[in-house]
Amino acid sequence: MYIGILYFFIIVIANTIGAISGMGGGVIIKPVFDLIDVHSVAAISFYAAVAVFVMALVSTYRQVKNGIQINWYLAGWVSLGAVLGGVAGNSVLDWLLSFFASEEQAKLIQISLTILSLLFAFLYTRYQWKSFSMHQVYWYILCGLTLGFLASLLGIGGGPINVSLLVLMFSFPIKEATVYSICTIFFSQLAKLVSIAVTTGFANFDLSMLFYIIPAAMMGGFLGAHLSGVISTDKVTIVFQSVIIIVMLINFYNGLMLFL
């Protein structure tokens, strides 16, 4: 019960920030759950996927209700890529967990790739590197494939690379990119959950934790979508970059602990 309550508060805070910044919450949930170190890598990835999936569903609904205009043609193709990438990412994660003798090695790979994606996202938004206007269908699908694959493989549900890649490829303002990021996260995590259901199933997880995770994810999604509607673009950028630095430090610490 104690862990459930702790997870509840972590998810509310993480998903609120994730919905505002477009990161999805998982980029915070995954390393913090690793830090607590109660559940396995597979279980943490599953709980993070559920939390972020519910948040993305609620947040997208609220954004549409708030009058945000979404280009569903673009969102649809990117999301299709995210579904395919999500299935592939989950398959690679399962392979890594079975390939290595210890799940600590798989966790180290997750942490290393997460830090690299965080570093790219921070530098890109900090120095405002050149962006492109790639508006062909194959670019939409490729973007979704990349985002969905990393989201499922790293167990972070999307993370900062979503927003950065959307800005880079399609020249979106950061606030608009956060909306499409959340849409992409919804489909990539849906694919991950379906993939788990038809392969290993959910029997290996403590499903009682979902009684804490799902309400927390809904609350965070509603709060984040509401705050996103009233916060300026400049403040969204500040939140985005601040979270990147904090999460990078947590990941560095988690990686260091694997060697001690």
Query: What are 20-29's pLDDT values in tens digits?
Result: 776 767 778 8
pLDDT of residue 60: 79
Judged against a pLDDT cut of 90, whether residue 2 lies above it is answered with no
Query: Looking at the whole model, is its pTM more than 0.85?
Result: no
- Round to whole Å and give the CA distance between 55 and 218: 6
- pLDDT, mean over the chain: 84
The end-to-end CA distance of the chain, in Å, is 29
Q: How confident is the model at residue 37 (pLDDT cuts 50, 70, 90)?
A: confident
Query: What are 171-195's pLDDT values in tens digits?
Result: 888 778 878 888 888 887 888 888 8
| Cβ atoms of 151 and 86 closer than 8 Å | yes
Tokens of 170: 């399609």
Tokens of 220: 């965070």
Judged against a pLDDT cut of 70, whether residue 157 lies above it is answered with no
pLDDT of residue 13: 92
DSSP string, the chain: -HHHHHHHHHHHHHHHHHHHHTS-SHHHHHHHHHHHT-S-HHHHHHHHHHHHHHHHHHHHHHHHHTT----HHHHHHHHHHHHHHHHHHHHHHHHHHHHSSSHHHHHHHHHHHHHHHHHHHHHHHHHT-------SHHHHHHHHHHHHHHHHHHTSTT-HHHHHHHHHHH---HHHHHHHHHHHHHHHHHHHHHHHHHTT-STTS-GGGHHHHHHHHHHHHHHHHHHHHHS-HHHHHHHHHHHHHHHHHHHHHHHHHTT-
| Cβ atoms of 239 and 17 closer than 8 Å | yes
